Amino acid sequence: MNIQIVLFDGFDELDAIGPYEILKRANEFGANFDVKMVTLNLNTVTGFYGLTVEVNDFLSEDNCPDILIVPGGGWNHRGEKGARIEADKGILPEFIAKFYKQGAIIAGVCTGGMLMAVSGITAGRKTTMHHLAKNEMESYGCEVLSAKIVDDHDIITARGVTSGIDLALWIIERFVSPEVAYSVEERLEYEKSGTIWRRI
């Protein structure tokens, strides 16, 4: 399974690094995840708290992932970089919409879900969102639930920063097995928490 985590200047570090490690660790227990960090066009990106990451892979319409994970970062700070700036530029939301139309599952961590909303793919759907951006999320026509993870088939959202870890564990459970998800959780000495709402 091809999983891409898209980075941009001002991304929240834990939103991206947490899921990356969890999904990579799943391979130690039999998963077959090809997990890559990608950017629009930058070889080096800097997170909201200053972490610099070198990236060698880029978003490409010719390489639609099975799952695209979109971190948040900077949305509520209204700073000079971050998810809100990427939303205003419009390029990343366009990629999100294109990949969605090509059949990718789009997963947002925290205010990464706002980039999904701006792309238009969450209208009429169930989502979750960090409490500081809940009203903005609802303004895009989706229903925002208080669950930690909301899985609406091909759109998955995770409420806050640390919920990216729970998102990754849910991806493992859904696409590999609960046993593998438990093994990763046990290895990490992590106890997932909160409700996962899933459309039946």
Q: Which helix H or strand E contains 138, and what residues bound it?
A: helix 134-138
Cα-flanking dihedrals φ and ψ of residue 189, to 5°?
A: 55, 45
With 90 as the cut, is the pLDDT of residue 75 above it?
yes
Contact indicator for 125, 113 with CB cutoff of 8 Å: no
- Centroid of chain to Cα 66: 13
Burial state string for 101-138 with b = 16 or more CB within 10 A and e = fewer than 16: eeebbbbbbbbbbbbbbbbebbeebbbbbbeebbebbe
Q: What is the pLDDT of residues 122-134, one digit of tens each?
A: 999 999 999 999 9
Q: Is the pTM of this model over 0.85?
A: yes
Q: What is the pLDDT of residues 8-18, one digit of tens each?
A: 999 999 999 99
With 90 as the cut, is the pLDDT of residue 63 above it?
yes
Where are the strands (E) in the chain, listed by range? 2-6, 34-39, 44-46, 52-54, 57-58, 67-70, 105-109, 126-128, 143-145, 149-152, 155-158, 196-198
Residue 79 is encoded by which pair of tokens?
Answer: 């700073």
With 90 as the cut, is the pLDDT of residue 79 above it?
no
**What is the CATH code of the structural domain delimited by 2-198?**
3.40.50.880
Sort 186 into a burial class: Cβ within 10 Å, 0-12 / 13-18 / 19+: exposed
